[in-house]
Amino acid sequence: MKKHQWIATLLSLICTGLGMFYIGTPGMIIGGTLLMALQGAALFIFFMTLGFLGMLIGPIAIGLHIIGLIIPVIYFNYRSPKKPMFDEKRRRQLSSPWKIIVRTVIGLALFAGAVYAGYTYGSAPFMKTAAEKRVVQEAAESYLEEKYNEPFKVTDVDYTWAIGSYNLRAHPVQSPELEFTLSSNEASPPSISNDTYLNLLWGQQLRDRLKPLLAELYPDQAFADAFVNADIDTVERNYNQLANAGGNVSQNIRLIVFADLTADNLAQEKERVLELIRRLPSVTVPGETDLHIEYYGADLKTPDRVKKLEQDLDMNGKQSTHIFREFDISKITSTDDIEIRGLE
């Protein structure tokens, strides 16, 4: 009996009510089924209330699990001298391995079904099926290919139930490093919009134009990223042609600079920033330019980090020592207009 008690206890720890199916009396099976159904219902209510009842549902679910654990323990430790046939009946109940296996498998299937149903039906109003996401994915890829006359691959489709829209990530098949975002509604057929492909493509071209200037002013110190907005109606891939496209252009340039700034060299750095601002119009197209510079200690510049920065301008949680930010560099006329703020 000790062996059976430990097995029933272990099964009850793994799945609510499973130890009761292992025991297998009609009452235990009914009780185990009830506990499993209540677990599924608790999960359903949790999702339907967006987790706001978690503080209530959580203790209830834990309580159901504990009940399913206590009942087998009581069953195996119950002794009644007035009912001598009880122990014999219990022994016979646990004497057939194949019946035990069948009951346990049925119980496991019911538990999995209850959890699956609770999750599926509870989360259904706030999620989309794989088939529904695939429809949006195919519509987005067709839209992009028709618009830009080249193949694209949509790599991620996320549904936001609160606003009834999809957020997608995609990249050109020929340039997988150029990953951009776009949106879709949940209509049938889906309507695709807000793709940032050209913004990133123009930014990539601007970043390439910046490299010689940065190599001159910040030799082996600066890494750049850029994002360009242009309110034009045509598909213009060439950043240089935006000046002739007839729309307003705004450019965001972000730099990461490895330099140990101190009170002694801060004035010199302001002069360098001013020179950068004066020469930026030679590489940008006419329009508003936003310049953002983050400074990091020179000791953080390692070969591995440089390799990563060339792919993605992310310092992975490292704290910058100083920053400079000007949303319209045309306002900067002298070093007096430049504020490099220390963050340490």
Cα-based distances in Å from 323 to 192, 219, 258, 311: 37, 19, 12, 22
Contacts of 235 (CB under 8 A, 6+ apart): 147, 148, 198
Question: How far is residue 134's CA from residue 179's CA, in Å, rounded to a whole number?
Answer: 19
pLDDT in tens, 31-74: 999 999 999 998 888 877 777 788 888 899 999 999 999 999 88
Task: Name the pLDDT band for 77 (thresholds 50, 70, 90).
Answer: confident
Summary mean pLDDT of the chain: 90
Q: What is the pLDDT of residue 183?
A: 96
* β-bridge partners, 192: 184
Indicate the residue type of 214.
Answer: L
At residue 93, the pLDDT reads 73
Exposure string over 102-134, b if 16+ CB within 10 A, otherwise e: ebbebbbebbeebbeebbeebbeeeebeeebbe
Q: Which two tokens stand for residue 287?
A: 């329009």
Tell me: pLDDT of 246 over 90: no
Average pLDDT of the segment spanning 122-144: 88
159 closest CA partner among 171, 167, 169, 147: 167
> Using CA atoms, how far apart are residues 30 and 17, in angstroms rounded to an integer?
10
Would you say the C-alpha torsion 106, 109, 115, 117 has a positive or negative sign? negative
pLDDT band, very low/low/confident/very high, at 87 (cuts 50, 70, 90)? low
Q: Is the pLDDT of residue 95 over 70?
A: yes
In angstroms, how far is CA 238 from the centroid of its own chain? 32
Give the global pTM.
Answer: 0.69
Listed ranges 1-15, 109-123, 151-165, 214-228; the one with the highest mean pLDDT: 214-228
pLDDT in tens, 160-184: 887 889 999 999 999 999 999 999 9
The yes-or-no verdict on residue 322 having pLDDT over 90 is yes
pLDDT over 60 at 108, yes or no? yes
Beta bridge mates, 152: 172
pLDDT digits (tens, 9 = 90+) for 251-304: 999 999 999 999 999 999 999 999 999 999 999 999 999 999 999 999 999 999
Reference 255, options 223, 226, 211; nearest CA is 223
